[in-house]
Amino acid sequence: EVQLVESGGGLVQPGRSLKLSCAASGFTFSNYGMHWIRQAPTKGLEWVASISPSGGSTYYRDSVKGRFTISRDNAKSTLYLQMDSLRSEDTATYYCATDYYSSFAYWGQGTLVTVSS
């Protein structure tokens, strides 16, 4: 059974950093591209970043480019999102998800990030 478990969310002040983790199990992690998607409270879904199976290619939405870094450790079956210079508009539940035919097949339960002073 595919399982994705996010962690690392919490309350953080504007301008500070936070690192999210997504522990994967139940599939061969190193074979799949991975994504981070977020959802602000009572809002729609927003793609944040993606990474190729090897980690050699990464993609970001413009609003996080230069502030967020997606990475992975295939030996640990873990995906990461390093978030720097956080802003109030980054407040959201962050989900990790597996890539499948240009869609997000399996999602974690999400971790809430609140950026506030």
Partner 1 sequence: DIQMTQSPASLSASLGETISIECRASEDIYSNLAWYQQKSGKSPQLLIYAANRLQDGVPSRFSGSGSGTQYSLKISGMQPEDEGDYFCLQGSKFPLTFGSGTKLEIK
**Encoding tokens for residue 74?**
């295939």
Residue number with CB closer to partner 1 (48 or 86): 48
Residue 86's φ and ψ, nearest 5 degrees, are -65, 145
Q: How far is the CB of 59 from partner 1 (least distance, A)?
A: 5
- By the 10 Å C-beta count (0-12 exposed, 13-18 middle, 19+ buried), 71 is classed as middle
CB of 48 to partner 1, least distance (A): 9
Q: Which residues bind partner 1 (CB under 8 A)?
A: 35, 44-47, 50, 59, 61-62, 95, 100-110
Residue closer to partner 1 by CB (options 2, 16) is 2
Task: Reduce the DSSP state of residue 30 to 3 states and report it.
Answer: helix
The token pair at 77 is: 């079956």
* Shortest Cβ 13–partner 1 spacing (Å): 27
| Closest distance of CB 75 from partner 1, Å | 26
* Residue among 3 and 14 whose Cβ is closer to partner 1: 3
Instruction: Please identify, using beta-carbon distances, which residue of 28 and 57 lies nearer to partner 1.
Output: 57
Residue 16 tokens read as: 């500070």
By C-alpha distance, which of 28, 15, 38 is closest to 108?
A: 38
